[in-house]
Amino acid sequence: MDKPKLLIVDDDESIRTQMKWALATDYEVLLAGDGEKAMQIMKREHPAVVTLDLGLPPHPEGTREGLSVLAKIMQYYPSAKVIVVTGNPDRAAALQAISDGAHDFFTKPVNIDELKAILRRAVYVSSLEAEYKALQSEVQKSSGDVIGSNAKMQEMMSTVRKVATTDVPVLITGESGTGKELIAQTIHRKSLRKDKPFIPINCGAIPENLMESELFGHEKGAFTGAHVKRKGRVELAEGGTLFLDEIGDLPLSLQVKLLRFLQDHKIERVGGRETIDVDVRVIAATNKDLSSLISEGHFREDLYYRLAVVHIPLPPLRERREDIPLLAKAFLDKFSTDQGGKKKYSKDALSAMAVFDWPGNVRELENRVRRGITLSEGTVVSPVDLGLEARPQAFALLHDAVETLDLKKAREEVEVAIINKALHMHNWNISKAAEELGLTRPTLYSMMKRFGIHAEGE
C-alpha cells in the first residue's frame, strides 16, 4: 500500500530534516519552510496529515502567520488533519488553533514517540472519514435524491432495495410533499425495468369522464373528439413502471377495471374489442387513509390488497428532524449552483428550520430554500429570506419536550437537537462543537455514537 502523505511545515531546516529522517519509514514526507510553499504542496499533493509550526516567517517569534496558514488549510482542505507545533509559552495559541480546526498539537522539543502516536491516530481518523465519505457518496448514487439518516428512512430504503428486484405491486403512503413519487422513481431506477419507461398519472387531477381513456387508451371514434386511436398510460409503460399517484381519488367504476388489469395484465381500449397483453409493474401512492375509505365504501378492499403487496409508509419531515439539516444543505448546494453563487445559512436560519413543523414536508423545505436563495442579499440566507420566524431554539425544544410527556425521550430529543446544532454551527468540527457544548472531544464522540449522529461528508 502507498504510504500516507505527511506535510511538515517548519521554518527551521534542521527540524524539518530530523523529522523527515525519523518519519520517512512510515510516511511519504513533504517539506515546506513557509506558508506559501505549504499551500502550494497542499494544492498539488493533498496530504492527509500536516504538522504546522505556528512560528512561521515573516513573524517567527509570533503565531499570526501559523494561524493564518491553518485557516487557509481548513478553508480549502477541510479534511486534512493539521497538528500544530508550539513552544511551551505558546500553549494558549495552540489551544486557539484547536478551536480553529486543528486536529491536535504537540510542544517543542519534539518527542518522536509522542509525535508518532499522534500521527498514527490522525491518519487513522483521516482514513475513517475518507471511507465514510466514499460510503455516503455510494449511498447517494444508489438512492438518487433520497436523503435521510433517520432510522425510519433507513428502514424504508432497505425495503426499497429489496422490492426493486421484484415485480410485486407497491403502495407508498405519506403526507403531501414527503416524496412518494421520488421513492417510486428510485424503485424503478433500481429495478430490471430501469431502461424502460416510468409513466406517472395523477388519479385526482384528471376528470372522471376522461380518466378511463387516460389509463387504457381509446379507439378512433370511441367518443366525440376521439379522432385518432390513442394508447393510454398503461400501454405507454410497457416493459416499465406505471405510477398511480393519489390512488385514493380513483373513481369506483375505474377501480374495478384496474383490479381486473392487475389480475390478468390485459386491457381493452375505450371503444375497442381487442384484448391487449401488457407487461407493467404497478406502484401506487396516496396521502389518504385507505382503511377509512374502505370502511366508508369509497375504495375497494380487494383492490387495496392487490396494490399493497408491499406497503412503504413515508414519515413526515417533523418526525425525522435530524434529516432537516441534511436536506437543507443538499437543496442549498443544488440551487446555489443553479443561480451561480455559493451561499450558506445563518445560525438563526438553521435554528428556525430545526423547530419549524413543515406541514408541506420535504417539498415545502425545498421551495423555501429556493425562495431563500433568491431573496437573500450577499452569501448568507436568513430566516426572513426563508419566510420563517427566527425563534429561540432552546424555548422551542423545551416546548416540544414538554408536549411528549416522556421524560427520557424528551431529554434525548433535546440533547440530539442541541448536539446537531453545535455540529452544524461549526461545520462538523468536533473540537469546536465540543468546546461550544462544554464537553471533551471523547465525550462528544461517545454521545454521537449513542444517538446515532454521523458526521456529514464534505
Q: Yes or no: is domain 5-139 CATH 3.20.20.70?
A: no
Position 394 scores a pLDDT of 45
Q: Which of 425, 423, 417, 413 is nearest to 455 (CA)?
A: 423
Sequence-ordered list of residues with C-beta below 8 angstroms from that of 145, at least 6 positions apart, any chain: 182, 330
Averages of pLDDT over each 10 residues, the chain, 458 residues: 88 90 94 93 94 81 82 88 80 79 84 89 83 56 60 87 92 94 93 94 87 89 78 94 95 93 91 90 96 95 95 92 87 75 83 88 93 88 86 48 54 77 79 82 82 63
5-139 matches 151-315 in fold: yes
d(CA 379, CA 345): 8
Amino acid at 113: D
The arrangement of secondary structure in 151-315, i.e. its CATH architecture, is: 3-Layer(aba) Sandwich (3.40)
pTM for the full model?
A: 0.57
d(CA 393, CA 351): 6
d(CA 350, CA 154): 23
Sequence-ordered list of residues with C-beta below 8 angstroms from that of 126, at least 6 positions apart, any chain: 4, 48, 49, 79, 80, 81
Q: Please, is 189 exposed, middle or buried when counting C-beta atoms within 10 Å of its C-beta (0-12, 13-18, 19+)?
A: middle
CA distances in angstroms from 109 to 71, 147, 174, 441, listed in the order given: 24, 48, 62, 26
Q: Which three cell numbers stand for residue 2?
A: 502507498
DSSP states of 241-252 as a string? EEEEETGGGS-H
DSSP 34: S
Paired with 285 in beta bridges are: 172
Q: Which of 36, 54, 143, 128 is nearest to 95 (CA)?
A: 54
CA-CA-CA-CA torsion sign (271, 276, 279, 281): positive
Q: Which residue has the cell 497542499?
A: 42
CATH number of 318-451: 1.10.8.60
Quick count: other Cβ atoms within 10 Å of Cβ 452? Answer: 12
Domain positions in the chain are 5-139, 151-315, 318-451
Q: Is the CB of residue 70 less than 8 Å from the CB of residue 449?
A: no
Q: Which three cell numbers stand for residue 50?
A: 500536516
